[in-house]
Amino acid sequence: MNIKNYKKVLKKIKAHPETWDQKMWHCNTVHCFGGHAQILSGRKANDSTIRFDARIWLNISLDESNYLFDLDRTIEDFEAVLKNGFYCIDDYDRDGFDRNGFDRYGYDLDGLDKNNKPKKSI
């Protein structure tokens, strides 16, 4: 995630909450988190390209954009992502590793489990 750009969006929303409505991508001068990202990226407000533009500018995955664009997301949710990263989605980062560095199958990047035993060949 591009933290610098993410902070720009959050700062804009917090400074001008009247311009933020998570339930609308773009509506005149009101935008969701992704809408603000699209505009701050220098692109024109466009519902057809909002997800693409925001993902590129924020450097986030499709799952991460789904989380950020959710209609029920709050400022507190956005701040939590800034504080904790996207672990708050399902406890795994964008590369599929938990906070301890293990994937969903219990292996680290080197293919070792918590006891330093390698993955079993199938």
pLDDT in tens, 90-111: 676 666 777 777 887 888 878 8
Q: Tell me, what's the pLDDT at 59?
A: 93
Q: Say whether both 82 and 109 belong to one domain.
A: no
Q: Say whether both 16 and 64 belong to one domain.
A: yes
Q: How many domains does the chain have?
A: 2
Q: Tell me, what's the pLDDT at 90?
A: 61
Cα 3 versus chain centre, distance: 10
Contact predicate 66/111, CB 8 Å: no
Q: Say whether both 115 and 82 belong to one domain.
A: no
Mean pLDDT of 70-86: 86
Mean pLDDT of 46-69: 92
Retrieve residue 78's tokens: 């956005």
Q: Which residue has the higher pLDDT, 40 or 70?
A: 40
Q: Tell me, what's the pLDDT at 28?
A: 87
Mean pLDDT of 1-30: 94
Q: Say whether both 48 and 25 belong to one domain.
A: yes
Residue with tokens 């219990």: 106
d(CA 116, CA 99): 17
> Residue 18 has what DSSP assignment?
G
Q: Say whether both 98 and 75 belong to one domain.
A: no
Residue 62, domain extent: 3-86
Question: What's the predicted TM-score (pTM) here?
Answer: 0.71
Q: Say whether both 104 and 59 belong to one domain.
A: no
Q: Tell me, what's the pLDDT at 3?
A: 94
Report the SS3 class of residue 60: coil
Q: Say whether both 82 and 96 belong to one domain.
A: no
